[in-house]
A = this chain, B = another copy of it.
Amino acid sequence: MSKKVLILPGDGIGPEIVREARRVLESVNSQFDLGIELEEQLVGGAAIDATGKPLPDETLAAARAADAILLGAVGGPKWDSIPDFSIRPEKGLLGIRSALGLFGNLRPAILYPQLAHASSLKPEVVSGLDILIVRELTGGIYFGQPRGVREKEGGIREGFNTYVYDENEIRRIGRVAFEAARARNKRLCSVDKANVLEVTVLWREIMTELAKEYPDVELSHMYVDNAAMQLVRAPKQFDVMVTGNMFGDILSDAAAMLTGSIGMLPSASLDESGKGMYEPCHGSAPDIAGQGIANPLATILSVAMMLRYSLDAGEAADKIEAAVSRVLDQNLRTADIMSVGMNRVSTSEMGDAVLAAL
């Protein structure tokens, strides 16, 4: 049975890194006879330029039809000054997440032993780091209504957004997190601001309830400000963390940066059935776009996650991950992870090396 994968290169370094990841996917597709069909569409700024919309209908239709989606990145200064807030590159990404119900965002923060020196933290604080952040991705303040800018008395403008979660949304992401913790080291830390925000009082209550169904998983709760501190102070205390959309955005980026090599970190955004969108944790990096120096490994590792979670091809995923580890052992480094004594390679040379290692 054939499987469909939609490829969305997006903006900035997106097309460059996705090109290499696509080659890797094509290679395992034929090696393992996976029968994957590839299609490519526009999203984000690239789609705005071509069609006036960040998420064209063809793209959304192709996303619905696909078994999995590989995304590069969206956004850049070119589109930052578009006055209409509904026509922003980011709306393409948010639109797909929402339309497809990709509520479960898995963001691993793993330190590759070969890149231990790249971290800004002391080696003893981060060596062996392996955290998984589970972020709710289709609710919370990102999508809450009402929202906008309105005029108050006297013509004073006021901007407003709504942070909202219902029990079912919380329970759904909670289960993803408990299951993930069960498959790892059985410790789950739920992050909220239950001393100030009512919506997170409900969050904490539901997580506590769910814990009864997972007696083998040890649940703890932490306020978001403390969680940010603890990630800096002693990140290895965490196994799995679960939190809402906005806190997850902030904490997962902080956690990723602890490794010093955010160019290595993939992510998955899953719906209830396991269909998903896969993308690197880093953004579109417009400052280095088009120079052929971006690191394609996070996107290549996103392909591995895709094979494992959405395409039932764990063996192919293992092979890609082993190939990535091999190129690191060969001392090949893109600029972002370069260090003394290593061999600096371009985006496509890194792709070549992974293909050769496959």
The residues of B that contact A157 with a CB separation of less than 8 Å are: 166-167, 202
Say yes or no: A250 contacts B262, CB within 8 Å: no
* Cβ B161 vs Cβ A167 within 8 A: no
Query: Contacts of A90 on B, CB cut-off 8 Å?
Result: 195-196
Instruction: Give the distance in Å from the alpha carbon of A202 to the alpha carbon of B148 in the complex.
Output: 9
Asked if residues A160 and B122 are in contact (CB atoms below 8 Å), the reply is no
Question: Which B residues touch A202, using CB under 8 A?
Answer: 149, 157-159
Interface string of A246-268 (1 = CB under 8 A from B): 11011111101110101000000
The answer to whether the Cβ of A197 comes within 8 Å of any Cβ in the partner chain is yes
Known: A125-B120, A229-B253, A253-B226. A198 touches B142 (CB 8 A): no
Known contacts: A156-B168, A167-B157, A196-B142. The answer to whether A234 contacts B120 by CB under 8 A is: yes
- Does A144 have its Cβ within 8 Å of any Cβ on chain B? yes
A233 within 8 A of B: yes
Q: Count chain A residues whose beta carbon lies closer than 8 angstroms to a beta carbon of B.
A: 63
Interface status of A165 (Cβ within 8 A of chain B): yes
Q: Known interface pairs A224-B250, A229-B253, A253-B226. Does A196 touch B94 (Cβ–Cβ under 8 Å)? A: yes
Contact of A160 among B80, B147, B162 (CB under 8 A): B162
A203, CB-defined interface residue at 8 Å: yes
For window 133-184 of A, CB contacts with B under 8 Å fall at 141-142, 144, 147-149, 152, 156-168
Give A233 to B251 CA distance when docked, in angstroms.
14
Chain B residue contacts of A249, Cβ below 8 A: 193, 224-225
Q: Are the C-beta atoms of B166 and A141 separated by less than 8 Å? A: no
Contact present for A85 and B160 (CB under 8 Å) = no
CB neighbours (8 Å) of A160 from chain B are 144, 162-164, 198-199
Cβ of B254 and Cβ of A159 under 8 Å apart? Answer: no
Using a CB–CB distance below 8 Å, which chain A residues touch chain B?
Answer: 75, 80, 85, 88, 90, 94, 120-122, 125, 141-142, 144, 147-149, 152, 156-168, 193, 195-203, 224-226, 228-229, 231-234, 246-247, 249-254, 256-258, 260, 262, 283
